[in-house]
Structure 1
Amino acid sequence: MKITSLLLAAAACVTSAAMAQPPSLSLERIVADPPLAGRLPRQAEISPGGRWVSFLRPSQADSEVLELWAQPSAGGEPRKLVAAADLLAGAEQKLSEAEKMALERQRISQRGITGYQWCGQDDSALLFPLSGDLYLVRLTGDGPRAQRLTQSPDAPKQDPRCTPDGQRLAFVQGGNLMLLPLSGAATPQPLTSDGSDTVTWGLADFIAAEELARQRGFWWSRNGQALLALRVDESGVALKTRAQIFADRTAMTEQRYPAAGAANAKVTAFVIDAATGQRRELALPAGAEYIARAGWFADGTPWLQWFNRPQTRLTLTEFKAGADGAWQPHDITVETDPAWVEVHDDLIETPRGLLWSSEASGRRQLLLLDRTSGRRTPLTQQAEAVAHAVCVGERGVVFAGFGDLGKRQELYLQPLAGGPAQPLPGAAERQWRDAKADNACARLLVTRSAWGQPPALSLQTLGQTGAIALAGDAPSPDLAAYANQPQPLALMAADGRTPLNAFYFAARAAAGVRHPVIVMAYGGPGASTVNWAWGRDMALIAYWQQRGFGVLTLDTRGMAHRDRDFTRAHQAAFGKTEVADLFTAVRQLPRLVPSVDPARIGFFGWSYGGFLGARAMLDADTPFAAAVAVAPVTDWTLYDTAYTERYLGLPGTDGKAPNYASAHLPSRAALLSKPLLLVHGTADDNVLFEHTLRLVEALQNAGKTFDLQIYPGKAHGIAGRAARLHLYRTMDAFFERHLKTGH
């Protein structure tokens, strides 16, 4: 489950009594333009040859509209390459339902140019789709020149990809792969022909995009002569009719949604000759349920990474061309785990073998694989988990790794010959750094954020000190007034021995007066919310502080960035370990912060955090006085296969397997005894609106009163300034009513 919630943010502010009172912060200012954090670059990339840094930048007129910008890596001012308004000549931007769903998979809610890629390896052109057509921007000595490549906006083009030499591109239209030369007045030619409502070529299926972080479905070979393409057949997937309820209409949208225990899409892989269209299948065994990653080795060998259905086995398979032209599989390595294997992107060719990552040691580390024998040679020996590899070059492997129990992320250089890794220049105790690289792993595009400091970009040359700061609109001067240091708390999990990451933010209240607290937690696997990175919730928490609330953010067992034992706490159970940790931590809070009133502690959570919030209130032992649950999962048989089965297994034919029954919220409705606010967007295609409706019905049948707020036409993120402002006001009024003295 990807999180579009506020809770991916872990930044906030604490104001001590000795400090000057900051100016009053309103909810209107939190959602207004320009943003308090400034207009942050999005999707920043360093060009293949390292000459440019490209990024999407919010428009000065409207931060919800993205424009394509670039800045020379050698220095110089950033320049706007193109904006949607420049190309559409006043026409309204159009998106098909498939395009909207693809953007939702990537958690992109803005308009304008929402995605792009460098075309070819010579740093001279960028490619992007817009309103049904494709455009190319060439970087010339006379400035950027935009070129419209197609002229059929009513037939949307999805996921365009250039060949490595930049001479041709492929894209998906009507479910088929199309080929378009970039020279002359050529027209697109189909590479496949059986695309339909249920069959697509070259696109990520729902599960791959939503749960496996694979957003693409075809890959060019290094020489540009062939494509490795995935064919997705959804005919066996149950058809879900989803009502997109708007204020003035209801649109019925049919969606192939693979709910837990049901059939997945059938995904098969083919190598397609770009000149002839001839294709040959890359056959996988019957147990290959999910294709997690795919690509080509430098010698022209295609490879696939695939999971079995329980995701306890991840296999890396390459395919060698036989004498008869068929592709023969060879399993390079197999990763197993009795709970589940985590998906990753750590596969890079090096002079000493394939770079790979594994949790076999108890925490994720990098190793080298012999491609022929599968022999493993450990490489990194970090005290905490490796986050991911960035690149491999002459100087070694650049990777990101965790520290401070997962609260810090730093960049390191690891020699391929072995030995200790060294932090890159600029390392600090309380910050969060990540990087992307050019093809040579010589220049790094470093993103750095820290507590109260929004992400900033810089260009760093490996092996040299110093960095070139890159463009970004400065934060509002007001931001510094709210960005103070948090108070880390030493909280223990319910097992009495595992430390939990937690930050406390003091209420602005009179000395000696007990105050209420709002707890913000996610609780689910695959994410961490308590760390030293910048977070978008900072202003909201600052607002609650000035309203007299303390705020506690907490990561329970089962969440990310820790060792394997910590992250596997959800095995075969939702609503148990994380609830026990949450309750235990909340009961420790008054001892560590004596000014907290234990009778007035509230909860706010979104997505899995919404499930956690609702589950916490449907419990006779709850320590919470009130809770807000946004977009909660309430019945795990309604959620998708890959995510749910990874943790809970199969639900059984009746959907009542013990692991599912214990996490089923409607059956706990009679336990509600304190105020609960449920919030959901009616067009949510991730956690379907049906989840909240099922809980609502159960609560009504149990005779329970509760609050309900719905957002017509809104998806999982409830995006848009007006909707977000209304949500904040609703939560503010709810907590004011139920947590303040006298209520």
Structure 2
Amino acid sequence: MTTENRAIHRPAPSPEPGLSFPREHARTQRFTLGAPRAFTVAPDGSRVVFLRSSSGTDPSHGLWVLDLADGMAERLAADPGVLLGGAAERLSPVERARRERSREGGAGIVEYATDAAVELAAFALSGRLFTAELRAGTTRQLVARGPVIDPRPSPDGRHVAYVCGGALRVTGADGEGDRALAEPESGHESTVTYGLAEHVAAESMARYRGFWWSPESDRLLVARVDDAPVGRWWIADPAHPDREPAQIAYPAAGTANADVRLFVLGLDGSRTEVVWDRVRFPYLARVHWSSDGAPLLLVQARDQQSQLYLAVRPENGSTRMVHAEEDADWLELFAGVPCWSPSGKLVRIVDEGGARVLAWGERPLTGAQLHVRAVLDVTEQDILVSASAGEAAADPGIGEVHVYRVNELGVERLSREPGVHSAVRAGGVTVLVSATLDRPGARVRVLRDGKQVATVASHARRPGLTPRVTLTEGGTRRVPCAVLLPTDYQAADGPLPVLLDPYGGPHGQRVQRAQNVFLTSQWFADQGFAVIVADGRGMRGRSPAWEKSIKNDLTLTLDDQVHALHALAASGAYPLDLDRVAIRGWSYGGYLAAMAVLRRPDVFHAAVAGAPVTDLRLYDTHYEERYLGDPTRTPQTYRHNSLVWDDGLVDAAEPHRPMLVVHGLADDNVVVAHSLRLSSALLAAGRPHEVLPLSGVTHMTPQEQVAENLLLVQADFLKRSLHLA
């Protein structure tokens, strides 16, 4: 089952002749298929493990190994097509939900986990358990209860833990001794799970796991989730009235969350509950367990204005406070932290002195020059982080994210070219992933001691267009912006109708110095628009104050879209026709688009609102309460920020503007009730509009034909609404 591929420098395939951009964009899943991802570096620096599909149109990912000690050769360690014998992949409802939360649209091996030595990998295919011996190149299926969810080898490689039927199970790496360490108690089979993340953890905290091995491989920390207190919603399929609706536990803002507890489960059958003040700090936001210190928890209060870092004593489940934090607005969560350094100091990211800094123990290692975004690796010599330019930086580096080495002696930038960079590091080897504006996709370089020793090939297709993009800042607020013009635009062509193309809300940064980010925007530009992408207040990557200025007032994100638009037009640098302005967006961007034509029809003349959040009480607790508080205590705040309320539209101004509302009927994140309530309120107010229901489509719209035609339908609507020839 090993396939050699030494042609690791081959160019990416060009677009297939005769295919339109919407079709290519859809069938390549936004030109992501065929690109390597999910890198793991062996601690001895001998190999790099990653996922990649065979081509730019193949959604099925295989598990690959790059042997750095063997001529820099790539090997296919696990081929899902071979392992399944050509059979179609089947996913359980639990696995589908996990992929929806993580926005995973691929197939085959979409995630894997390894032992500490990166010798053994475990993964699930069609609910079956497989392991791959990464050095030997052999793969085997283990006998296990199914469907298998999230298998993870123990650090010593002797066991594999996984979730099945709500139970946390363990089997030997040899396939022997499968048993349940914890399973739902009698009478709670339908509400209790062990080893899985609850909805808000996966959707809004970016915690997708529910169990963690001890470094000694003798026990695990396991989350027990009971969603009995959570309200039940029903997701129906109106296109198939013969099918029973799916029941989901959805913790809407102001309602009860799942009850989350944590247990230490020993392979010897022992069971100890971890104790902390779960009444004051109900959110289990992060868990870290390494050989550098005791198990480490980050727990948050429900209002997210206070949190504790707790060290766990596994023997009796007691906890001691390592550090406490408070913030008048909210406390952000970050990737890679908290964790221990090898010397036993707490590593965290904290807002201090108006900047987002890296803290080592009680000492900040960075200042206002950097805006730290994530911790990538921690050694005794240094800490590897990703960061943007801070408010005090001389160069704002619009849309740039770089990789830095940080220690007590200072800060060193490892990524050089302007772009968006990330990294994985171990054993003196760094995998540096770099996207820039001047080339499609991302380049993956393997560095040893700072010098390039290999690259990892990408089989992603090249788009059939190149974004004509200018990165700039708009207005006195210095709103980061990207402006795109039609490929063949000439100054003599005169002013163009304008299309704003934002996400516009927290965490969804769109203005990035990376080419693929703007492919769809460029396609819309080539339909005859000047396209503007703006990241206003609330967006991460600039400063804590910039992010938190939207507390209790999300409408400021619309103000910044208007501010940027008018500032760019006033500059005279861009051919913008302010008498023809449209806006499109999805999710938060859909909310923003609908709000734009309802509250600022003096500026916006048409909108495409995709999967918009319209009644903010219908979104989840951890996300919505972070910004707006508890709706049972602050109903007026929710009313002000919502588009619809119990009595209809909220603050809709004249004149009426055309709106296309698009929503997937199978969406279990932003449920279709948002769009149905908006449509009902619009009709009651006598406002004509169009609604496009997408049968069987979730929040991701992964279906190829749907994704292709959705672009075409939007372009047609915008041209009609703005009276373009």
| TM-score past 0.5 threshold | yes
**Aligned residue among 81, 90, 95 for 2:77:** 81
**Over aligned residues, Cα RMSD in angstroms?**
2.4
Equivalent residue for 2:259, pick from 260, 266, 278:
266
**Retained in 2: the 8 A contact 1:66–1:111?**
yes
Which residue in the other structure is 1:529 paired with? 510
Q: How does 1:92-107 map to 2 (within 5 A)?
A: 92-107=88-103
Residue matched to 1:601: 581
Letter in 2 for 1:660: Y
Looking at structure 2, the residues matched to 332 and 663 of structure 1 have their Cα atoms a distance apart, in angstroms, of 37
Q: 1:92 to 1:309 in 2, by over 3 A?
A: same
How many aligned positions are there? 689
- What is the match of residue 379 of structure 1? 365
Q: Which amino acid is the alignment partner of residue 268 of structure 2?
A: A
Residue 111 of structure 1 corresponds to 107
Distance 1:458 1:518 in 2: 36
Structure with the bigger RCO (C-alpha within 8 Å, sep 6+) is 1
Provide the rounded CA distance (Å) in 2 between the counterparts of 1:189 and 1:199: 14
Provide the C-alpha distance between the structure 1 equivalents of 2:638 and 2:330, rounded to a whole number of angstroms.
18
Contact 2:423 2:433 in 1 (8 A): yes
1:254 is paired with a residue of what secondary structure? strand
Q: Does structure 1 conserve the Cα–Cα contact (< 8 Å) formed by 2:583 and 2:593?
A: yes
Matched position secondary structure for 1:618: helix
After TM superposition, list the pairs within 5 Å mapping 1:434-453 onto structure 2.
434-438=422-426, 440=427, 442-451=428-437, 452-453=439-440
**1:149 matched to which residue of 2?**
142
One-letter amino acid of the structure 1 residue matched with residue 595 of structure 2: R
Alpha-carbon distance, 1:223 to partner: 0.4
Q: Deviations over 1:387-440 (max 9, x none)?
A: 12211224312211112256211111122xx2320112x412x211111122x4
Whether the aligned pair in 2 keeps the contact of 1:35 and 1:475 (CA below 8 Å) is: no
User: Deviation of residue 245 (structure 1)?
Assistant: 4.0
Rounded to whole Å, the distance in 2 between the matches of 1:35 and 1:366 is: 34
Counterparts of 2:512 and 2:129 in 1: how far apart (Å)?
39
Look up the match of 1:283. 276
Q: 1:625 and 2:609 equivalent?
A: no
Contact 2:167/2:180, CA 8 A, preserved across alignment: no
2:13 corresponds to which residue? none
Q: For 2:454 and 2:242, how far apart are their aligned partners in 1?
A: 51
Superposition deviation, residue 740 in structure 1? 4.2
SS of residue paired to 1:357: strand
TM (norm. structure 1) is 0.88
Whole-angstrom CA distance in 2 between matches of 1:535 and 1:625? 28
Quickly say closer, same or farther: Cα 1:300–1:44, change in 2 above 3 A: closer
Q: Which residue of 2 aligns with 1:393?
A: 379
Shift of 1:66: 1.9
By how many angstroms is 1:206 displaced?
0.5
User: Kindly tell me: are residues 490 and 544 of structure 1, through their superposed partners in 2, closer, same or farther at Cα, counting changes over 3 Å?
Assistant: same
> Judging changes above 3 Å, is the alpha-carbon distance between structure 1 residues 36 and 139 closer, same or farther for their aligned structure 2 residues?
closer
Does the Cα contact within 8 Å between 1:625 and 1:674 map onto a contact in 2?
yes
Deviation at 1:543, TM superposition (A): 2.3
**Which residue of the other structure, out of 339, 342, 345, is the alignment partner of 1:348?**
339
Query: Using the alignment, how far apart are the partners of 2:709 and 2:286 within structure 1?
Result: 40
Does the 8 A contact of 2:431 with 2:446 survive in 1? yes
* Aligned 1:217-366 pairs, distance under 5 A: 217-246=210-239, 250-298=243-291, 301-320=294-313, 326-344=316-334, 345-350=336-341, 351=343, 353-366=345-358
1:722, 1:490 → 2: CA distance? 36
Q: Structure 2 vs 1, CA of residues 680 and 257 (structure 1 numbering), >3 Å: closer, same or farther?
A: same
Question: Does the 8 Å contact 1:235/1:265 carry over to 2?
Answer: yes
2:536 matched residue in structure 1: 556
TM-score for the superposition, normalised by structure 2: 0.90
Identify the match of residue 558 of structure 2 among 566, 575, 579: 579
Distance 1:189 1:31, change over 3 A: closer
CA shift digits 1:611-660 (9 cap, x unpaired) = 0000111115541111111110000111010100000001117xx71110
Displacement of 1:87? 1.8
Whole-angstrom distance in 1 between the partners of 2:659 and 2:436: 34
Q: In 2, Cα distance between the equivalents of 1:34 and 1:651?
A: 37
3-state SS, counterpart of residue 599 of structure 2 = coil
Q: State the Cα deviation string for residues 554-577 of structure 1 (Å, max 9, x = none).
A: 011111101111000220122x21
Partner of 1:708 in structure 2?
691
* CA drift at 1:461: 2.0
Aligned to 2:7: none
* Residue 96 of structure 1, CA deviation: 1.3
Give 1:673's match in structure 2, choosing from 631, 656, 660.
Answer: 656
1:461 aligns with 448
Q: Which residue of 2 aligns with 1:588?
A: 567
How far apart are 1:27 and its partner, in Å?
2.7
2:485 maps to what in 1?
506
| Alpha-carbon distance between aligned partners in 2 of 1:675 and 1:499, rounded to the nearest angstrom | 30
Please report how far the alpha carbon of residue 512 of structure 1 lies from its aligned counterpart in structure 2 after TM superposition: 4.3
State the 1:99 CA deviation: 1.0
Report the CA distance between 1:34 and its aligned residue.
Answer: 9.8
Which stretch of the first structure deviates more once superposed, 36-45 or 378-387?
A: 36-45
Write out aligned runs for 1:727-742 (5 A): 727-741=710-724
What residue identity is the alignment partner of 2:286? R
Is 43-52 or 383-392 further displaced after alignment?
A: 43-52
Change (3 A) 1:275 1:516: same
Q: By how many angstroms is 1:189 displaced? A: 3.8
Give the secondary structure class of the aligned counterpart of 2:675.
helix
